[in-house]
Amino acid sequence: MSTTDKDWVGDPRNASPDGEFVRDTTYIDDRITADAPAGQPTAQEDGTFHWPVEAGRYRLIAARACPWAHRAVIVRRLMGLEDVISLGLAGPTHDVRSWTFDLDPGGVDPVLDIPRLQEAYFNRFPDYPRGITVPAMVEESSKKVVTNDFPSLVRDMIIEWTDHHRPGAPNLYPAEHAEEMEEINKYLFTEINNGVYRCGFAGTQEAYEAAYERLWNALDWAEERLSARRYLVGDHVTETDIRLFTTLVRFDAVYHGHFKASRNKITEMPNLWGYLRELFQLPGFGDTTDFTEIKQHYYIVHKEVNPTQIVPVGPDLSGLATPHGREAFGGQPFADGTTLPGPLPEGEGLKNPEPFQK
């Protein structure tokens, strides 16, 4: 299958015989690592390549609409990598070929000088057969994609880029919680992060109802867990919280109606709602969340789900700026000695902020 045959560039998908949504999770699994020698990427025994950590060499291509890319944008900001890894932002909508840079002057990424992310994939793999996905790390000089494996891409920004982290950057992957984080991360992916898609793209009533039950079992688990603790793991924000945040912040605006995940809104679940408000109010979270682009992506691109492509005006999201009360559980967002990120770099502010975000 050629890339142009893919009918869902941002969310690669397949359908099982019973109508269940099955995500294509095969990615370019090269990595950027601290121990890779300078220069050209080094071949590994498993057939992948390790690329060297090098300031100014790579450009993170993301889209504010995409929850998987949003994770990478948040981590880049929290780690203070804005001057080390440049950021390119694709527009919220795309066609069957690729994410496009229609937000930039002339519809061309100003650093890579390409109109479509597809070109960076084809520069390295001329016959690349899979979906053109974000986030993707691209080598600026060659304009070739390095990796689009979003879990390791994000993790490596936390673990492998430490020499370039800002002073006071948080520890988002504490070793003492690594085992528990991995267990919860896996559960979040299968049941919540991908669970909303399993509801939205179900091909039969039976598949939808099964997906709906699984999703709400998991959201009830998260609501219960957060009734007794401030964060999912430990006493501070971790990568695990970022993984849940990017789904929760899209839930009421998109997944509740568009994906028919409609038992409750997050605003109706007191612990998840307080937790979401706290995270949203932290630098790196709310200031990287563009609800206009999120809604445009889902409601315009998913024509099978929303044939009219009408984008809803609501919901009212101003409650995200209200007090959250999560201090009652103890702990704090980041450990002592950690500092919050500074102002957003010039040119990286939201293009479509909600009134309460201004």
Q: Which amino acid is at 7?
A: D
Angle made by CA atoms 195, 291, 138, in degrees to the nearest 5: 75
**CATH assignment at residue 352:** 1.20.1050.10
Has residue 150 got a pLDDT over 90? Answer: yes
Report the predicted TM-score, pTM, of the whole model to 2 decimal places.
0.95
Q: Are residues 158 and 302 in the same domain?
A: no
For residue range 286-302, list pLDDT tens digits in order. 999 999 999 999 999 99
Strands 49-52 and 42-43: antiparallel
Angle made by CA atoms 240, 343, 246, in degrees to the nearest 5: 25
Give the pLDDT of residue 63: 98
The candidate with the shortest Cα–Cα distance to 217, out of 242, 203, 199, 202, is 199
Q: Are residues 204 and 348 in the same domain?
A: yes
Domain boundary (105, 132, 164) is at: 164
Active site residues: 66, 197
The answer to the question of residue 171 being in a domain is no
For residue range 244-289, list pLDDT tens digits in order. 999 999 999 999 999 999 999 999 999 999 999 999 999 999 999 9
Residue 194 belongs to what domain range?
Answer: 180-357
Q: Are residues 269 and 241 in the same domain?
A: yes
Least-confidence region, from 13-27, 144-158, 342-356: 13-27
Check if the beta carbon of residue 29 is closer than 8 Å to that of residue 48.
Answer: yes
Q: Are residues 96 and 214 in the same domain?
A: no
Q: Are residues 136 and 215 in the same domain?
A: no
State the DSSP code for 23.
E
Q: Are residues 260 and 153 in the same domain?
A: no
**CATH assignment at residue 67:** 3.40.30.10
More confident of the two residues 9 and 127: 127
99 labelled as ligand-binding?
yes
- The residues facing 147 across adjacent strands are 137
Q: Are residues 230 and 149 in the same domain?
A: no
